[in-house]
Amino acid sequence: MNNTLKVVVIGAIAALALMALGFAMPRWLLFTATKAVAFGIVALGIVTLMRGGLVSFGQGMYYCVGAYASGQLAARYGVTDAFILLIVGGLGSGLIAAVVAPLVARYRGIFFAMLTMALSMVLYGVLAKINAIGGSDGFNLPKPTFAGFAPQDGASDIALYAVAVATASLCAVLCRLYYDSRPGLIALASRENELRVEYLGASVFAVTARNFIIAGVLAGLGGTINAMALGHVDPFFSYWTTSGEFVFIAILGGYASAIAVFGAALITELVRSFSGSYFPDSWQLLLGIFLLAVIVFLPLGFGSLWARRRVTPPPADEEIRS
Amino acid sequence: MSIPVLEARNLCKAFGAVVAADDISISIEQGARLALIGSNGAGKTTFVNMVTGYLKPNTGTILFEGTDVTGMAPRRITRAGMSRSFQIPQLCEPMTALDNVLVATGIAATGRQSWFRSAHSRADVDAARAILDRFDLVDYADQPVGELPGGVRKLIDIAMALASKPRVLLLDEPTSGVSSDEKFPIMDRVMRALEGESAAAIFVEHDMDIVTRYAERVIAFYAGTVIADDTAQAVLANEDVQRYVTGRKR
Amino acid sequence: MNLALTILIDGVIYASWLFIVALGLTLVFGVLRILNFAHGGLYALGAYSAAVTVGWFTGHGLDGWFTILAMFIAALAVAVIVTPIIERGLLRFFYGRDEVLILLVTYAVFLMLEDITKLIFGVDPYYVFEPRTLLGNVEIGSLFYVGYDLALIGTAIVCGLAVWLGLRRTRIGKVTLAVIAEPEVAATMGVNVSRIHLLAFGLGVFLAALGGALTAPLISVQPGISVSVVIVSFAVVIIGGLGSIPGAAIGALIVGIARSFAVYKVPEAEIFIIYLVMVVVLIFRPEGLFKPIQARRI
């Protein structure tokens, strides 16, 4: 089967299955799952960057921009349609990422991580001081509507969850196709050997800038979903610990897979919400041990558990490797 | 007389007090088989690095097919039609040999690159395998290059440089670091792969057996200058070359 | 004029505190190539240990100057106990790996330390004001400063000079410099590289903990103090150039004065001025002000 078709079909089936599962979930789990899906989308952006050899410690910035852009639109102008908000949030953060991209694309390693982090902290500080949009307290936004429907309570939660899952599936499918494409392969090559990629005639700068913008859009989408889910937005969205959490999820998921981050996000959120109520003083300890264990035992993340099979010898089929 | 494919005019390069290139002028014709010889620090690699854009000469001009490419970024020079291999193979270690070549052919491909079409389409994979086949490397196609022996890595490195169908190919010590019984097979495969291509091949080489067997023309470097430029026979018979480079005369 | 002086003195005091913390960070990076996220957690451990130790001392009638001694003992204790666990038990397995990967490993340690600190010391705040009253107040111009705060400046200078001279004038320091420059050569010449690593990391931990201990009298010691310190001290070492001691000093001064300038002149910018400075410096000097030269061979 054609790779594109296969990825799209798997994505669609997964989306429908997860949406159906939403009807069976208790409300608290629905909320946690929605948040996890949103985090997963942001982490997918970091995964995309990781495939180009970089880790951003400042994705909170684009998460925050998406949440503020769509949140302001909802709170100030009464636009509550989830789809419009998602488009505005994604485009808004993508635009900011596009402005920042040429600035950060020539940095590598620790310097890239620190520069992106510093930028997100600047945004955090600025937002905390702008009282017109709530200062450090942030602001609340009204419940989302869905293409003219304004479902009540439980139904609204399910609808938002479904929108989150649909968005995530679309993102994962598009990312997977990109990873498998020629530009995706070249990005992966620049992770392994920049010098060689440049000497073959490609621009590592352009690869990085492109990945950075993609990551920005994804973070904005995640931020918009969480703004709608929480009904509240504040500058903490851009604080470095928020970004740290995204990195955490991305490392857990690993860069081999576009799906694993969502599992990683769900696990992280469940650990957090369970230990938050049962052992509030040790969930970070748990996360730390978890992160170490993954780095040591699964250096390519959860995704490598099944993605490894992708590199086994090719079948004699029309498409060599899917 | 046609214009030379590559021409260096009066190249100078100094690193602090060390002069690595002192007024080097070289003209290379289409399809040349040229060896650059010289002891360590004589300026061969500096020359290659300047020509391929890794180093910018202090003064002087580099013309590729008549166009000034002095100080251009490596990727632009590659795009213009001049590529290189490396003394230490520059590969994407965890990726398979096939994927390494696919990266090279993918970058070399012109036209819009689809973001949604698999990089492993039948046609692309067949083309990449054909390149590996020209170097007798098909058996290694699906192994990560990090696990392959030195000679094979050298050849993959060269195969990647050839993927863009360059008109000038610079080989930086193609046989260094491989065993002596591997060096001729390696060079044979490289030369065979170059057959039918109009590419000029310029190789930096220490091994005089390789030079005499494969080079039609030899340029000898000493202390940043060219001390001889002629047929292999003539250069190796040159007294200065014997004194400063090959060490056959004391 | 008075305002300028105020800004300067406040800035330098803040810079001194920052420098003590950042010195450890830059030293550890210089020797071990580790940008240690857990540095903030070690700082917090130092603050807590100092609070407890000072409390114990005063409870046993050892007040006054003994409380200063108590703070140093606390920082030393943290270094002696924690260093072998983190360095020998964990970090040494990652030497030579990708710097960002090691950053993530130390981020995991940071997360763990957050809760371990809570488990040991609880979540209620500690207060230790005693040491800060020892040196009384000092009048500069028409302004009054707490003597303890001014003494921080001296402490920072002493720490900086001690490490700087220690690296250049003592045998062990010179060996350390050799390990930084050529680890393989140093190892083949018989240098016990592991021991140098352990010592350097230990000194880094001590400086982090000392920074925390010296801060304890200024603040209420409670969960969360590590979070803000990590990033500020990262800013300092990145501005100065990773691994450079003079760089850390200059970075601390720039950050300290920029911050105190913001506090007095542009209070809106207080929270983010440090990061803004960091961004600006990185844009113009991509590897910080004092950049070590590294060439790639091909």
Which residue ranges make up each domain of chain C? Answer: 19-222
Q: Do B91 and A193 touch (CB under 8 A)?
A: yes
- The CA distance from B249 to the nearest CA of chain A, in Å, is 39
> Tokens at residue C15, please?
């810079």
The chains in contact with chain A, meaning 3 or more Cβ pairs closer than 8 Å, are B, C
Q: Do A201 and B103 touch (CB under 8 A)?
A: no
- The CA distance from C140 to the nearest CA of chain A, in Å, is 32
Taking contacts as CB-CB distances below 8 angstroms, the residues of chain B near A214 are: none
- The CA distance from C296 to the nearest CA of chain B, in Å, is 11
Residue of B nearest to C296 (CA): B54
Report chain B's mean pLDDT, rounded to a whole number. 88
Please tell me if residue A241 touches chain C, with a CB cutoff of 8 Å.
Answer: yes
pLDDT at B190 over 50: yes
What pLDDT, on a 0 to 100 scale, did the predictor assign at position C61?
83
Residue of B nearest to A312 (CA): B142
What pLDDT, on a 0 to 100 scale, did the predictor assign at position C296?
44
Pick from A50, A133, A284 the residue to mutate for testing the C interface (most C CBs within 10 Å): A284
Q: Which residues are within 8 A (CB) of C94 and not within 5 positions of it... i.e. 6 or more apart?
A: C101, C102, C105
CA dist., res. B197 & res. C141, Å (int)? 83
Q: How confident is the model at residue B183 (pLDDT cuts 50, 70, 90)?
A: confident
Q: Which residues are within 8 A (CB) of A84 and not within 5 positions of it... i.e. 6 or more apart?
A: A73
Q: Do A199 and B122 touch (CB under 8 A)?
A: no
* Tens of pLDDT, residue by residue, chain C (298 residues): 688 888 999 999 999 999 999 999 999 999 988 999 999 999 999 999 999 999 898 888 887 788 889 999 999 999 999 999 999 999 989 988 888 889 999 999 999 999 999 999 988 999 988 888 888 888 877 778 888 888 999 999 999 999 999 998 999 889 888 888 887 888 888 888 889 999 999 999 999 999 999 999 888 899 889 988 998 999 999 999 988 899 999 999 999 999 999 999 988 888 899 999 999 999 998 888 886 544 444 4
pLDDT at B164 over 80: yes
Q: Which residues are within 8 A (CB) of B37 and not within 5 positions of it... i.e. 6 or more apart?
A: B44, B204, B205, B206, B208, B211, B218, B219, B220, B221, B235, B241, B245, B246
Of the CA atoms within 13 Å of residue B149, those in its CB half-sphere come to 8
Looking only at the bridges linking them, the beta strands covering B67-68 and B82-84 are unpaired
Please tell me if residue C283 touches chain A, with a CB cutoff of 8 Å.
Answer: yes
Residue of B nearest to A183 (CA): B115
Please tell me if residue C278 touches chain A, with a CB cutoff of 8 Å.
Answer: yes
- The CA distance from A15 to the nearest CA of chain C, in Å, is 32
CA dist., res. C298 & res. C296, Å (int)? 7
What residue ranges define each of the domains in chain B, with the CATH number in brackets? 6-90+165-246 (3.40.50.300)
| Secondary element (H or E) of residue A144 | none
Question: How would you write chain B as a 3-class SS string?
Answer: CCCCCEEEEEEEEEECCEEEEEEEEEEECCCCEEEEECCCCCCHHHHHHHHCCCCCCCEEEEEECCEECCCCCHHHHHHHCEEECCCCCCCCCCCEHHHHHHHHHHHHCCCCCCCCCECCCHHHHHHHHHHHHHCCCHHHCCCEHHHCCHHHHHHHHHHHHHCCCCCEEEEECCCCCCCHHHHHHHHHHHHHHHCCCCCEEEEECCCHHHHHHHCCEEEEEECCEEEEEEEHHHHHHCHHHHHHHHCCCC
Low-confidence ranges of chain A (pLDDT < 70): 1, 306-322
Among B78, B103, B117, select the one facing A181 at the smallest CB separation: B117
Q: Do B75 and A321 touch (CB under 8 A)?
A: no
- Measured in degrees and rounded to the nearest 5, phi and psi for residue C272 equal -110, -5
Residue B5 CA, chain-centre distance (Å), reads 15
Please tell me if residue C298 touches chain A, with a CB cutoff of 8 Å.
Answer: yes
Taking contacts as CB-CB distances below 8 angstroms, the residues of chain C near A291 are: 104, 107-108, 111
Taking contacts as CB-CB distances below 8 angstroms, the residues of chain C near B86 are: 298
- Measured in degrees and rounded to the nearest 5, phi and psi for residue C129 equal -95, -20
Q: Do A129 and C90 touch (CB under 8 A)?
A: no
Taking contacts as CB-CB distances below 8 angstroms, the residues of chain A near B118 are: 3-4, 180-181, 319, 321-322
Taking contacts as CB-CB distances below 8 angstroms, the residues of chain A near C242 are: 110
Q: Do B113 and A183 touch (CB under 8 A)?
A: yes
Taking only the tens place, the pLDDT of each residue in A249-290 is: 999 999 988 999 999 999 999 888 887 777 777 888 888 998
Please tell me if residue A107 touches chain C, with a CB cutoff of 8 Å.
Answer: yes
